[in-house]
Amino acid sequence: MTNQPWWWKWGEKLLLKLLSSILFYTAIPLPYLNGLDFQEVAHLAPFVGLAIGGILGLCDAGMNYLGMPVLTRSALVVGVWVAITGGLHLDGAMDTADGLAVGDPKRRLEVMADSATGAFGAMAAIAILLLKTTALTDIGENRWLVMMAACGWARWGQQVAIARYPYLKPTGKGAFHKQAIRSYKDLLPGLLLLFSLSGLLWLRDGKHLFFALGMILAGIAIATLTAAWFNHKLGGHTGDTYGAVVEWTEALFLCVVTILGS
């Protein structure tokens, strides 16, 4: 076993990192293997996002094949969306909304750490789920690709928040992400991956060049501005705001795509 070639060891390490990322960011049941390391899962967050979007696309295509109306299909897809992530990011968005509703900035982190959901957290969850459902209902073409792009850009936005802004707690669920994403160079693999996804749409049909470029610009802008807005409100980020960046980027990206599609 010690004489394994370098490419085998590299592939084995990458596989373990991928499985660690999937186990950390989703509720997809996978066998636990020795050697899993969750310290660098943030590196593959955009790839996990594309995988989630691909699963959603398959579910959507199956329901469409059965003749399910688009509104019902969109609502079920959003439900599966929450289930796949185990509500991890949605919970963060709810906690963040509760924290931002507090007038005293010094108490915001304390409120966010409270597991009880307040009125503002519930309203944020309702708004996010409604935006996703209605936007998906208005997207008629390339739904699978749009969902993959939404999930991918949202998690790239999380990487931007990790790399660009300070982490506000000495410990916490997201503290080790700061050690994994240390510079803007760590954002490039996810960025290139998402560029390739939009390029796939253009290669499939040249008339979609404007749509593909629009998705790239929308993804970069929404992910970056969402991360910046939460930093502006709190002076940094926590694990909860990382989840909020993911949820709001997904929802707002889908809304913008409805404009591009028209």
pLDDT digits (tens, 9 = 90+) for 170-189: 766 677 788 888 888 999 99
Q: How many domains does the chain fold into? A: 1
Is 33 a domain residue? Answer: no
pLDDT surpasses 60 at 109: yes
Residues 32-44: what's their mean pLDDT?
80
DSSP reduced 3-state for 182 = coil
Q: Which residue(s) pair with 143 in the sheet?
A: none
Is 42 a domain residue? Answer: no
Of residues 40, 46, 42, the one with CA closest to residue 191: 46
Q: Residue 174 is which amino acid? A: G
DSSP reduced 3-state for 237 = strand
Angstrom distance (rounded) from CA 212 to CA 35: 39
Q: pLDDT of 185-215, one tens digit each?
A: 999 999 999 998 887 776 666 667 888 888 9
Q: pLDDT of 231-261, one tens digit each?
A: 999 999 998 999 999 999 999 999 999 998 7
Q: pLDDT of 122-141, one tens digit each?
A: 999 999 999 999 999 999 88
Is 100 a domain residue? Answer: yes
Of residues 185, 179, 177, 183, the one with CA closest to residue 163: 183
Place of tokens 């503290």: 175
Angstrom distance (rounded) from CA 191 to CA 43: 12
Domain that holds residue 242: 49-261
Is 24 a domain residue? Answer: no
- Polymer length of the chain: 262
Q: What share of the chain is helix, strand, coil (3-state, %, to 5)?
A: 80, 0, 20
User: Percent of the chain beyond pLDDT 70?
Assistant: 92
pTM here is 0.91
Angstrom distance (rounded) from CA 154 to CA 150: 6
Angstrom distance (rounded) from CA 177 to CA 25: 12
Is 108 a domain residue? Answer: yes
Is 256 a domain residue? Answer: yes
Is 242 a domain residue? Answer: yes
Q: Which residue(s) pair with 237 in the sheet?
A: 167
Is 22 a domain residue? Answer: no
17 within 8 A of 37, measured Cβ to Cβ? yes
144 within 8 A of 53, measured Cβ to Cβ? yes
